[in-house]
């Protein structure tokens, strides 16, 4: 075996000792559901404080989409966890994924529109 490869695998063996356990799922999933909802609520509060009614409403719609996206993500995770080998289950997951990505794309579009509106509405410096 190559000496370089051997030394890298020895290091791997040392890092993955048999007594070490992987971190709990809650530690690896960031942001947590509550934290993510808190960020969305903060975005909503900031949206409601905007002086431009169009910008405020677009931001509120975007926050609704963000909540929907979170729900779709959780639904997809459940689908993946119980995914079997049937074509129907895979088609359902494909539909969920397509919907999720469409919502993400719409959030992106509204964010770009929001940015453009904020530039138009801000006083020039």
pTM comes to: 0.67
Counting the structural domains of the chain, the total is 1
pLDDT the model gives residue 67: 94
Name the more confident of 6 and 79: 79
Q: Is residue 39 part of a domain?
A: yes
What is the DSSP code string of 6-41? HHHHHHHHHHS-TT--PPPHHHHS-S-HHHHHHHHH
39-89 pLDDT, tens digit each? 999 999 999 999 999 999 999 999 999 999 999 999 999 888 888 888 888
Q: Is residue 80 part of a domain?
A: yes
The boundaries of the domain holding residue 88 are: 31-121
Q: Is residue 59 part of a domain?
A: yes
pLDDT the model gives residue 88: 83
């Amino acid at each position: 075996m190559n000496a370089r490869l051997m030394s890298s695998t020895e290091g791997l063996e040392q890092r993955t000792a048999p007594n070490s356990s992987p971190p709990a799922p809650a530690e690896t999933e960031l942001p947590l559901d509550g934290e993510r909802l808190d960020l969305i609520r903060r975005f909503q509060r900031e949206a409601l404080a905007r002086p431009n009614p169009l910008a405020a409403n677009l931001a509120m719609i975007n926050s609704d989409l963000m909540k929907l996206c979170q729900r779709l993500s959780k639904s997809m995770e459940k689908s993946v966890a119980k995914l079997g080998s049937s074509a129907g289950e895979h088609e359902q997951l494909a539909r969920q994924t397509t919907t999720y990505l469409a919502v993400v794309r719409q959030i992106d579009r509204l964010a770009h529109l929001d940015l453009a509106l904020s530039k138009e509405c801000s006083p020039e410096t």
